[in-house]
Structure 1
Amino acid sequence: MPNINGAQPSIVRPTVNANNFEIKPGLIQMVQQEQFGGGPAEDPHAHLTNFLEICDTIKMNGVSDDAIRLRLFPFSLKDKAKAWLNSKAPNSFTTWNALSQAFLSKYFPPGKIAKLRNDITSFAQFDGESLYEAWERFKDLQRKYPHHGLRDWLIVQTFYNGLTHSVRITIDAAVGGTLISKSTEEAYELLEEMVFNNYQWSNERGMPKKVPGMYDVDGINMLNAKVDSLVKMFGKLGNVNSISSPVLSCDCCGGAHMSSNCMQVQFVSNYNRQRQQNNPYSNIYNPGWKNHPNFSWKYQGNQGSSSRPLHPSGFQPRPSQQENKESWEIAIEK
């Protein structure tokens, strides 16, 4: 039969000489608010840093730091990390140093160390990133891996080489030379000062002056409002996709074509054009003029023939001027 009394924790809690030593529930709750679960996105170094800050808030005579840390650390773990601690053999950790080293070895493997170290040494400023933003991002990489082992002068040189060309020119002009020619301490202080000035200048520039009596409307909201109004407008007009193409209809024959392409219209047009070209009374010259009664170029080869002009069949000769006169006009002339 399993015996609960035989289960021993992996952490050996040091003895405390103080009789009134007690960890307050409020302190335990503070530790539990920053629990570490062992996920790939969690930072073990940041967890230890936050945990030590909480532990340093309590000091008692006759109570060592290890006694407080070893008692509180299990409350700071959850999920996989808590299962890892419970899986260790009983009495595995007797000091805080041994426990913290085992914790970092578990959740800070060599592969992760190599990646973070490479992120530091291959640092490069992003496009559109300010000097302040680049400096803070570079320091965040160092905080994720505080034991990177890089010398201070290499840290400064790595950051300087990772900046864009225009930013390096600005820094060199500000220091009156090249930044890497300065000492490590001086170069670091100059960077901190320039970063601070860049941060202040960016904040002042990023605060637009507001005009009294005007509302500040976000551009995205305005665009969304316009899109909504257009959608409503098209909704009232009906579905755009349902609009059919116009149906062609001829005004002459009713066929499915334009009136200008109708065969009947073209036939009538060609017929009228041919009649006009042979009209002897047309105002425009055409071959029919040779049949005009008032023109004399018609061939008169046969003198004995009648002088009456010939007319094409189907045409009546125009009456002469004499024939057009009324009888009373003729009587006056006589």
Structure 2
Amino acid sequence: MSRFQSLFKPELSELGIAWPEVQAQTITYPPSLIQLIQNNLFHGLLNEDPYAHLATYIEICNTIRLAGVPEDAIRSSLFSFSLLGEAKRWLHSFKGNSLMTWDEVVDKFLKKYFPESKTAEGKAVISFFHQFPDESLSEALERFRGLLRKTPTHSFSELMQLNIFIDGLRPQSKQLLDASAGGKIKMKTLEEAMDLIENMAASDIAILRDRAHIPTKKSLLELTSQDSLLQDVQSVVELMTLDVVSLVKNQLFNYMGNQPKNTFNEGGFTGFQNGQQYQQQRQWQNHPGNQFNRDQGGPSNRPQQQVPSLYEHTTKLEETLAQFMQVSMSNQKSSESAIKNREVQVG
């Protein structure tokens, strides 16, 4: 036994992990490897995934090869560096070489942090899988695979997984799969059905990629032109609205001014309305030289100005808007043509 082994063997025994038998006289781990492992610490919290931790830890350990040192020996000897807090205390609870192999370490670790209750919960989530209303086939397939990875101990066979996935799809997705299969997709073999689903999901991804295409400089300029046109139309519509409202007010005012005045003084008590004082007052107000007539809009010999009707005015506004739309669309086409020519010149 090398001096290196004799120095470190007691520490491993205190953690419950037996020192692995190796042929190498000395084992030297680069500090960068320890740093990578400690960047992937597992604390034993409920929201942590022990399977994901093990997968990342093994991937890091596989980056090093030592002559005369098996892979499992490297994993066993460095595993304690990947734990912290409650998980570290759990490893310390094992005494005296109770964990002899890497497989035993993994088995104890998963039983502690991924018990049967989590397996049952994960299996239930997988069993009740369904495609969301706004989820594409490719997105649903990736999410279903994520559920399987999250619960590796689900024990569902590949055929059961396929049936669960197909049964959870929306009717539209099922119809597309059946159409591509030339019948019921469940009548195909496992390999054929998976190939059809993979191919359709790949086409689905291509469609999503096209929809998520970043706008080019050309499309941005076109969008600016369209926004400008919409803004101009909105301004004209607002002006038309204000003009029509003003016209309605003026016609309503003229209509009220031409109606007989039935105020309290004129249409009140009959005796006072027909009295001499009232007639004299009316004669004085109707006198041609009276300033009252000029100031208050009384009788006048000037011809009244003809105000266009609401229908005529609205028709004119509609014609104006139509002309404006034609000119704006023509200007937009000219701008787009100029942009295209400019892009061709720029290359």
TM-score, normalised to structure 2, is: 0.61
> Which residue of structure 2 aligns with residue 92 of structure 1?
98
Instruction: State the 1:12 CA deviation.
Output: 1.1
> Which residue of structure 2 aligns with residue 145 of structure 1?
151
> Which residue of structure 2 aligns with residue 189 of structure 1?
195
After superposition, where does 1:279-298 map in structure 2 within 5 Å? none
> Which residue of structure 1 aligns with residue 287 of structure 2?
none
> Which residue of structure 2 aligns with residue 254 of structure 1?
none
Instruction: State the 1:188 CA deviation.
Output: 1.3
User: What is the letter of the counterpart of residue 207 of structure 2?
Assistant: W
How has the CA–CA distance of structure 1 residues 187 and 210 changed in structure 2, closer, same or farther, with 3 Å as cutoff?
A: same
Distance in 2 between residues matched to 1:216 and 1:37, nearest whole Å: 54
Instruction: Determine if the alignment matches structure 1 residue 167 to structure 2 residue 164.
Output: no
After superposition, where does 1:56-135 map in structure 2 within 5 Å? 56-135=62-141
- Asked whether the 8 Å contact 2:267–2:273 carries over to 1, the reply is no
Instruction: Determine if the alignment matches structure 1 residue 275 to structure 2 residue 272.
Output: yes
After superposition, where does 1:198-209 map in structure 2 within 5 Å? 198-207=204-213, 209=215
Q: Deviations over 1:275-332 (max 9, x none)?
A: 114559969xxxxxxxxxxxxxxxxxxxxxxxxxxxxxxxxxxxxxxxxxxxxxxxxx
Instruction: State the 1:151 CA deviation.
Output: 1.1
How has the CA–CA distance of structure 1 residues 115 and 280 changed in structure 2, closer, same or farther, with 3 Å as cutoff?
A: same
- Asked whether the 8 Å contact 2:41–2:84 carries over to 1, the reply is yes
User: What is the letter of the counterpart of residue 202 of structure 2?
Assistant: F
State the aligned residue count.
231
How has the CA–CA distance of structure 1 residues 90 and 278 changed in structure 2, closer, same or farther, with 3 Å as cutoff?
A: same
Instruction: State the 1:21 CA deviation.
Output: 2.3
The structure whose Rg is larger is 1
After superposition, where does 1:42-61 map in structure 2 within 5 Å? 42-61=48-67
User: What is the letter of the counterpart of residue 20 of structure 2?
Assistant: P
User: What is the letter of the counterpart of residue 58 of structure 1?
Assistant: I
Distance in 2 between residues matched to 1:142 and 1:280, nearest whole Å: 104
Instruction: Determine if the alignment matches structure 1 residue 23 to structure 2 residue 29.
Output: yes
SS at structure 2 position matched to 1:114? helix
Instruction: State the 1:270 CA deviation.
Output: 7.9
2:15 pairs with one of 6, 9, 12: 9
Distance in 2 between residues matched to 1:271 and 1:57, nearest whole Å: 108
After superposition, where does 1:213-252 map in structure 2 within 5 Å? 214=220
Q: Deviations over 1:137-160 (max 9, x none)?
A: 000000011121111111011100
How has the CA–CA distance of structure 1 residues 207 and 269 changed in structure 2, closer, same or farther, with 3 Å as cutoff?
A: same
Distance in 1 between residues matched to 2:171 and 2:219, nearest whole Å: 44
User: What is the letter of the counterpart of residue 145 of structure 2?
Assistant: K
Distance in 2 between residues matched to 1:170 and 1:182, nearest whole Å: 15
Distance in 2 between residues matched to 1:80 and 1:46, nearest whole Å: 18
Identity between Structure 1 and Structure 2 (%): 36
Distance in 2 between residues matched to 1:211 and 1:19, nearest whole Å: 65
Q: Which runs of 5 or more residues in structure 2 are unaligned?
A: 1-9, 224-262, 281-347
| RMSD of Structure 2 on Structure 1 (CA) | 2.8
Distance in 2 between residues matched to 1:36 and 1:132, nearest whole Å: 32
How has the CA–CA distance of structure 1 residues 136 and 213 changed in structure 2, closer, same or farther, with 3 Å as cutoff?
A: closer
Q: Deviations over 1:94-113 (max 9, x none)?
A: 11111101000001112111
How has the CA–CA distance of structure 1 residues 93 and 67 changed in structure 2, closer, same or farther, with 3 Å as cutoff?
A: same
Distance in 2 between residues matched to 1:72 and 1:280, nearest whole Å: 120
Distance in 2 between residues matched to 1:213 and 1:130, nearest whole Å: 26
- The range that moved more, 82-91 or 46-55, is 82-91
- Asked whether the 8 Å contact 2:61–2:75 carries over to 1, the reply is yes
Instruction: Determine if the alignment matches structure 1 residue 178 to structure 2 residue 184.
Output: yes
How has the CA–CA distance of structure 1 residues 277 and 111 changed in structure 2, closer, same or farther, with 3 Å as cutoff?
A: farther
Instruction: State the 1:53 CA deviation.
Output: 1.2
How has the CA–CA distance of structure 1 residues 213 and 166 changed in structure 2, closer, same or farther, with 3 Å as cutoff?
A: closer
> Which residue of structure 2 aligns with residue 261 of structure 1?
none
